[in-house]
Structure 1
Amino acid sequence: MADPVRALIFDVDGTLAETEEAHRDAFNRAFAEAGLPWVWDRVLYRQLLAVSGGKERIRAFVARHDPARLGPQLDPMVQRLHARKTALYTAAVRRGGVPLRPGVARLIAEARAAGLALAVATTTTRANVEALFDGSTAGAGHGWFATLACAEDAPAKKPDPLVYRVVLERLGLPAAACLALEDSPNGVRAAAAAGVPVVVSESVYTAGDDFTGARAVFPDFAEVTLDTLRGLHAAG
């Protein structure tokens, strides 16, 4: 018999909140401020989201679309651009412009009331996560999670399972006792590679993607309860 679920592990971007448009806008503003002729529209950004991590995404874009900038000067430029993008993004979400996705706050409340541990496993920075909690939960979200594993904690980005392994070590739980909530194929592959069962809530930029390996795929968590998740986890 499978272990009962003892922890929920949440991805952030696209799962806790539909943040990607705010990220895209911040990237474009950072590029414009730096005098770069780059504009990431929605079609291009969806393609770039196949690469996890903001700095990695910029490097992938340059390699494909502006290879003349490849060379020793690229890494310092990427660091500057990403730092400015993060500042623009955190300022925007801290103002409350990006709410939690439907059903997320209720699911978290149900899990906390039932005594489940909660954790975050994300490739985004801790500053981005904390800004989201400030803006979308009036700061309450800072007290909801036993641990936040962010980009700083796991330099190997999803689909690498490192961030999930960090969370499992911190929680002191076996993978089979946890359930991951994700929105992307890379997230599904990362959780599965760590042995963590996973369910998906499709986001604006991942709807219709291949989520092979997920226990279930939902349009959002509005109609999903803790009992639903428990059933999916127990089903193996």
Structure 2
Amino acid sequence: MTQFEALFDGRSFAAILFDMDGTLLSSIEAAERVWTRWAAQFGIDARTFLHGIHGQRAVDSVRQLNIPGVDPVAEAHAITLAEIEDVEGVHPIPGAREFVSTLPEGRWAIVTSAPRALAVRRLAAAGLKPPSVFITAEDIPRGKPDPACYQLAARQLGWTADDCVVFEDAAAGIRAGEAAGAPVVVITATHQRPMDTRHPTYVDYNALGATIRPDGRLQIRSQSTRKI
């Protein structure tokens, strides 16, 4: 039995909950440019922490650096403003636009650790429109890996998280989906090294499709699985 069959064969879902950066779009080049410039102000080599900034709120990343005398909230705000200005190279994950275009309104959500202004800016740069349920950093008291963000998205759509499927790319988000009780699919388009995960893993959306069953539930189909 393949990874896909183990999770999806004969299974349907009420809705799909997507992370944004690294899952629906790639902003890795722009984000790492901004964080590298910011870190240089404090004499920090950004290469020592860049791998950890993806998938969590900027304020949490700044706090983890424990820079003496630094206000994490103020610094995170400054980083966000710089990221809003720099969206060069932001682009959709292959097949993402086509995949979400097949989903009915109200049956999918975006759940991102980015502030709303930055999320809207990056979605526009990637040619994607936000869905009706759009959870951002301002909507939750604690960021990923806390499951509250995915639980909130599912609740706003009218279901529980364990009746949805989460699409993620980063460790913090994967843990959030797991903690919410949802099955998880990992998108690896932006990964520079293999990820050790028990979840079904796809490079992008080109092999994926979603159909609406007669009972109105979503079923995800794949031509193949590929793990990198």
From 95, 106, 109, the equivalent of 2:101 is 109
Map 1:19-98 onto structure 2 (within 5 A): 19-32=27-40, 35-41=41-47, 44-46=49-51, 48-49=52-53, 52-62=56-66, 69=68, 73-74=69-70, 76=71, 78-93=72-87, 97-98=89-90
Q: In structure 1, what is the equivalent of residue 129 of structure 2? A: 141
- Distance of 1:134 and 1:98 partners within structure 2: 9
- Which consecutive unaligned segments of at least 5 residues does structure 2 have? 1-8, 212-217, 223-228
- Distance of 1:50 and 1:133 partners within structure 2: 16
- Distance of 1:154 and 1:198 partners within structure 2: 21
| Mapped contact 2:57–2:114 kept (Cα < 8 A) | yes
| Mapped contact 2:55–2:170 kept (Cα < 8 A) | no
Question: Post-superposition shift, 1:231?
Answer: 4.6
Q: Which structure has more strand as a fraction of its residues? A: 2
- Distance of 1:28 and 1:17 partners within structure 2: 20
- Distance of 2:207 and 2:175 partners within structure 1: 25
From 171, 174, 181, the equivalent of 1:188 is 174
Partner AA of 1:105 in structure 2? R
Question: Post-superposition shift, 1:230?
Answer: 2.1
From 187, 201, 205, the equivalent of 2:187 is 201
- Which consecutive unaligned segments of at least 5 residues does structure 1 have? none
- TM-score, normalized by length of structure 2? 0.80
- Distance of 1:203 and 1:61 partners within structure 2: 27
- Distance of 1:201 and 1:160 partners within structure 2: 20
Map 1:166-185 onto structure 2 (within 5 A): 166-185=152-171
| Mapped contact 2:55–2:113 kept (Cα < 8 A) | no
Structure 1 residues 37, 135: closer, same or farther in 2, change over 3 A?
Answer: same
Aligned length: 208
Among all aligned residue pairs of Structure 1 and Structure 2, give the percentage whose two residues are the same amino acid.
Answer: 24
Q: In structure 2, what is the equivalent of residue 119 of structure 1? A: 109
From 1, 5, 25, the equivalent of 2:13 is 5
- TM-score, normalized by length of structure 1? 0.77
Q: In structure 1, what is the equivalent of residue 215 of structure 2? A: none
From 134, 139, 148, the equivalent of 1:153 is 139
| Mapped contact 2:143–2:149 kept (Cα < 8 A) | yes
Partner AA of 1:157 in structure 2? G
Question: Post-superposition shift, 1:29?
Answer: 2.4
- Distance of 1:84 and 1:155 partners within structure 2: 20
Q: Which structure has more helix as a fraction of its residues? A: 1
SS for the counterpart of 2:30 is helix
Question: Post-superposition shift, 1:2?
Answer: 7.7
Partner AA of 1:98 in structure 2? V
Structure 1 residues 146, 2: closer, same or farther in 2, change over 3 A?
Answer: farther
RMSD across aligned positions (CA): 2.6
